[in-house]
Structures are given as structure tokens and as C-alpha cells.
Amino acid sequence: MEAANFIHDEIIKDLAPGGRFEGKKVHTRFPPEPNGYLHIGHAKAIVINFSTAEKFGGQCNLRMDDTNPSKEEVEYVDSIKQDIHWLGYDWEDRFYFASDYFPQMFEYACQLIRKGKAYICELTAEQIRQTRGTLKTPGKPSPYRDRPADESLDLFNRMKDGEFKDGQMTLRARIDMSSGNMNMRDPVLYRISRSHHHRTGDTWCIYPMYDFAHPIEDALESITHSLCSLEFEDHRPLYDWVIDHIDSPARPRQIEFARLNLTHAVMSKRKVRQLVEDNWVDGWDDPRLPTLSGLRRRGYTPESIRNFCERIGVSKVYSTVDYAFLEHCLREDLNKKAPRVMAVVNPVRLVIDNYPENRSETFEVENNPERPEDGKREVTFSRELWIEADDFREEKIKGYFRLFPGHEVRLKTAYIIRCTGCDKDEQGNITAVHATYDPDSRGGNAADGRKIKGTIHWVDTNNCLDAEVRLYDNLFKDADPDTEEQRDYMERINQDSLVVRRHSKVEISLSGTSAPGSYQFLRLGYFCLDKNDSKPDRLVFNRSVSLRDSWKKRNKT
């Protein structure tokens, strides 16, 4: 089997004869804490866990790591499940909660106490901090460190029974107060907390810490490979310590990889929350946010996100992936799938002066040149059309081959027209563009075979729909809004990250649509209906991503 990344390398070794998991089935898990919404960074972890299991013919569990009731809520559990399903992964019947293991964890803690590997400490949080030492100096042993096991066991049971106040005492591992690894300086294993747990209610008033709970959760589920992010590297010795000192049914292996960062975006829960709560964006599913619900509303497909996650690779290097790569993956997917449609986002009236006033005709347009099997649809044409304001200029500039007086252009699938001028109001705003058409060019090709370089899209003024179009761009202009910790990144928000066009015109074939799905607005980009605001009689489209535009690129700076 070929390894796609260093984790696969390790797994292959583990599975080999004499390896740590020889003869075992690979088992991974995705263990979110239900305290917020999932984002693209989680998607990377989800893809790594599920695809690794799949690659080796194993399984991946979904587990809510709910060991801290003061931060967790049920509403998140549902959104997390929904997002993972949406991405296209299935955990079948293997959906678990860390809280289901509380009784077993308590039992393991008692084992540790009996072995003299853990003790009840009555130091306050402040005292624990003070005696922990610093990065360069060893800590001091707690005065309770040598408390007899019987006494600790008794206290631990009374802790569980609610005899003590929150924070009054803790269960601590007895490891090494002078370890260079801070996590090994007698870490707290259990704390007293009377917050209401979303699943166990008030059954417990003591809760295990992550470092104690996680290896047990993994072991109980027979996880072989516990894949997590880099910041847990220093916790691995403690993870192994717990497994080694309890009567563990399994010996899972933790492997760490670098989490995903994206340019032009903020990923941390705290920062996203602030953007939402201070109303810089429209909720957790704002299309500019890197949350999965935001990306979904923006029109990102699960396939594009999965593909993105697979292609960015897995390593231990601190990395920031260019947002342009995510966009590339979306375009690549939508180019194959999205039906083409004509829409004029910023309309200006085009009058074809030599076209009869009351005449109308119909043209057939292909739905997707990439997929001829998708068939064709009809669009109507008449004397007055809407065209994109950008497609007309009063004067030619170098390289511009759209409409300007005297110049010919093709109206997609219809006729070749020649621009004759424009009308303006008193302020000098262009109110209409004038042109004449070539009656012998029906369909778009000139009878004399002359080549027409430019083709523009259009919509019949007599047969179209008004729509609101929301043009989204990066939330942050800076590639790295997240770098300097203390900077007020809100001030760096891109003022043009949302431009609303309320009077856009879209072709009639879109009338009444409510189905989810993406369209390519010809020459503009990929768009989808906004799931929150669009109504069959008042369409609202979100721009998922623009088409690549070498003209625009060439003309800026």
C-alpha cells in the first residue's frame, strides 16, 4: 500500500508483522467538543480521520468529547452531526459521548489511587499554579502528595458524593514535579464542578480532565490511531502514562499533525465568535466565514471541501494554505456540474435600434458546454435587452474588446451587434446603450465569416426576473489577519467583502426556483440561492466564487 502522508507511513509500520497493531483493524475517531460550530479546519481533521480509516479498511467513530459541562451544549451536537453528514461521512452506529464513560473513568481513577499513582490534593488552583514551577525551574511537591491511598480513595468518593465545594480539592496524578514537560508535573485528573451537564444532568459533580479522559475514551473504543493536532504533542507522554497505569483494554497510539490555517480568514473559535456577536457578519453561517455552515451557505460543495482537504496534504509543518486554493477546488467541481444561465448583475439597457419594436424571437442555449447531455433551454430576445454595465465603454482602451462606439460584439447565441453610442442623463450617467444588429448573423455567426472576438451575455427586458445578488469577497484583505495576537483584526475587515446588487436581472428560466444547487452566471461566476433569504418570488443569490478573470487581473495595478 502506498502512503499518502507520514501518518499512513506510521500506520503501515504498525500493521506490519511485528508492528504495534499487527493483525488489528485500523480504528480512528473524530472527537469534537460540542462547544461551537465546525469550520474548515475541523473538516481537515474529519477528512484525515475518516479517509485514513477507509483507506486501511477500518472504521472511524464520531465522539463528543463532553468532559467540561460548563462549556458544552446540545445544540452544537446536532450541528456537528449535520455538518459531518453533509461532508459525506457516516459513522453508522458508532456515535459516542465521553460522558457515557464517566463511570468507567471513575473506576480507573480509583485504580490509580490504589496503586499510589494519584492522590487527592487540597491546594487551591492558585497554589497549584504557584507550586508548578516555571518552564525552566522544577515544581514543588504538593503537601498532599504522599497522602495514603485509603485516605485519597475515601476523599475521592466523597468528592463524587458532593461533600465538597467546587474547586476545594482535585485528584492529581503522581508523576514528576521536576519534569521538563509541564504536563507531567502531577497534572489534575479530576475537578469538582457543579455545572449542569447536557447529558448526565446533575449525576456528577466531578469531571475528568481531557488528559485523563481522552486516552480512556480511545482505549474503550478500541481506537488504534488517535490523530490530533500538534499542540497535543507534549501531552502524549501523559496519554501513554494513563494507558500504562490503568488496566487498559487497548493501547492506542496518538499521532499529531498540523492544523489548517487559511489566508484572509480567522479560524479561532474566539475570533469567529466575536465577529458574530459584534455583528460584523450575519451569524455563524455568514457566507464569508470559514465555518462549514458558512461555506455551505456560500455554495461550497462537500466534494470541493473534501477534495481540498485531501490535496493540501498532511504534515507537521505549521502551514497556511492560500484561500485561492480552496476557491480553485470549488471552481473545478462546479465547472463540471453547474448549469449555465445568463444574469446581468449590474444592468444597463441596450437598445437595438434597427430591430422591430414588437418582434420577439427565441434562441436555444446549451445548459453546460462541459456536458452536452444536459441539454438546452430557451431564452427570448427582443429590441431591448439588459447588458452588464462593464461591457460598455464610451472609449476604447487597450485590450478592451467589448462594446464601444463603432465596435462589434456578439450577443451570446443571438446576433452580432455594432455599438452606435449611448444616452446620458443630466448628471452624465449612462442610461442606455445603442446598437444595430446584423440580421444575417442569427445564432451569432456572421454570414461573411468575419471573426468576432467578444461575446457578451444579456437578458431580455421583456422576459426576465429581478433578483438580489450578493457579491462576496474575502472577509479580510490581509492575507494574515490572524498573525499579531493583540491587533484588532476587526479593523482589518474588507469593507467590500459584501456588495449587494438589489436590481440584478436574471433569465426567466430561473423563475420560481427554490432547489438548492449552483449555477454558473455566464462570464461572472458561480452562484447559489441564499438558503435563508431567497423566496421563489424574490430570488436572492450568493456569489460562491467568481470565474477567473484575466481581463480584470490585467487591468489592476
Query: Is 297 a residue that touches RNA (CB under 7 A)?
Result: no
Active site includes 408? no
Region of 155-163, 174-182, 289-297, 495-503 interacting with RNA (CB under 7 A): 174-182
Nearer of residues 131 and 494 to RNA, judged by Cβ: 131
Which listed residue (10, 33, 176, 478) binds RNA by CB under 7 A?
A: 33
> For residues 250 and 226, is the Cβ–Cβ distance under 8 A?
no
- Of 110-118, 486-494, 508-516, 549-557, the window that binds RNA (rule: CB under 7 A) is 549-557
| Contact yes or no for 221/63 (Cβ under 8 A) | yes
In the complex, what is the shortest distance from the CB of residue 407 to RNA, in angstroms, rounded to a whole number? Answer: 10
Q: Which of 10, 33, 122, 468 is catalytic?
A: 33
Instruction: Give the β-pairing of 27-30 and 59-64.
Output: parallel
Which helix (DSSP H) or strand (DSSP E) does residue 120 occupy?
strand 118-121
- Contact between 193 and RNA per CB under 7 A: yes
When binding is defined by CB under 7 A, the residue of 105, 219, 309, 522 that contacts RNA is: 522
Residues 262-281, interacting with RNA (CB under 7 A): 263
How far is residue 472's CA from residue 499's CA, in Å, rounded to a whole number? 7
Q: Choose which of 43, 276, 321, 459 interacts with RNA (CB under 7 A).
A: 321
Contact flag: residue 180 with RNA (CB under 7 A): yes
The answer to whether residue 527 forms part of the interface with RNA (CB under 7 A) is: no
Q: What is the DSSP string of 244-306?
A: HHTT-S---EEEEEPPEEETT----HHHHHHHHHTTSSSSTT-TTS-BHHHHHHHT--HHHHH
439 binds RNA (CB under 7 A): no
Say whether 54 is catalytic. no
Residue 492 main-chain phi, psi, to 5 deg = -100, 10
Interface pick for RNA out of 111, 319, 462, 514 (rule CB under 7 A): 319
Pseudo-torsion of CA 9, 11, 17, 19, nearest 10°?
110
Q: Of residues 269, 349, 412, 492, which has the active-site annotation? A: 269
- The gap between the terminal CA atoms of the chain, to the nearest Å, is 49
Beta bridge partners of 229: 257
For residue 122, the SS3 value is coil
- Cα distance between residue 347 and residue 467, in whole Å: 11
Would you count residue 412 as binding RNA (CB under 7 A)? yes
Q: Which of residues 138-167 bind RNA (CB under 7 A)?
A: 166-167
Q: How far is the CB of 320 from RNA (least distance, A)?
A: 4
Cell reading at 206: 466531578
Distance CA 456, CA 445 (A): 14
b/e sequence 132-146, b meaning 16+ C-beta within 10 Å = bbeeeeebeebebee
Select the residue interacting with RNA from 16, 324, 447, 500 (CB under 7 A): 324
Q: Whole-angstrom Cα distance, residue 4 to residue 313?
A: 8
DSSP string covering 22-43, please?
TTPPPEEEE---SSS--BHHHH
Q: Which is nearer to RNA, 5 or 436 (CB)?
A: 5
- Three-state DSSP class for 515? coil
DSSP states of 348-389: EEEEETTS-TT-EEEEEEES-TT-GGG-EEEEEEESEEEEEG
CB nearer RNA, residue 161 or residue 233: 233
The footprint of RNA on residues 498-517 (CB under 7 A) is: none
Please work out the total of residues on this chain that contact RNA, with binding judged by CB under 7 A: 92
For the window 88-127, what string marks contact with RNA as x by the rule CB under 7 A? -----------------------------------xxx--
Grid coordinates in use for 216?
480512556
Of 91 and 210, the one with the shorter C-beta distance to RNA is 210
**Binding range to RNA, per CB under 7 A, among 51-59, 187-195, 470-478, 509-517:** 187-195
Min dist. Cβ of residue 500 to RNA (A): 23
Using the rule CB under 7 A, which residue among 520, 534, 542, 544 binds RNA?
A: 520
Among 109, 112, 114, 78, residue whose Cα is nearest residue 95: 78
In this structure, the strands spanning 430-437 and 455-456 are unpaired
**By CB under 7 A, is residue 65 in contact with RNA?**
yes
User: Rounded distance, CA 399 to CA 441, Å?
Assistant: 24
Of 468-497, which residues contact RNA (CB under 7 A)?
A: none
- Closest by alpha carbon to 30, among 96, 99, 105? 96
* CB closer to RNA, 399 vs 428: 399
Q: Segment near RNA (CB under 7 A), from 3-11, 287-295, 377-385, 464-472?
A: 3-11
Q: Is residue 332 a contact residue for RNA (CB under 7 A)? A: yes
Among 39, 174, 253, 402, binds RNA (CB under 7 A): 402
Least separation in angstroms between residue 289's CB and RNA is 20
Q: What's the residue count for the chain?
A: 557
Q: Does 551 bind RNA (CB under 7 A)?
A: yes
Minimum Å distance from CB 52 to RNA? 13
The only residue of 445, 461, 494, 513 in contact with RNA, by rule CB under 7 A = 445
Q: Considering beta carbons, is residue 281 or 379 the nearer one to RNA?
A: 379
CB atoms within 10 A of CB 490: 14
Identity of the amino acid at 4:
A
Where in 205-244 is the site for RNA (CB under 7 A)?
207, 209-211, 213-214, 230-235
13-32 residues near RNA, rule: CB under 7 A: 31
Q: What is the identity of the amino acid at 371? A: R
- Any catalytic annotation for residue 269? yes
Catalytic residues: 33, 259, 269
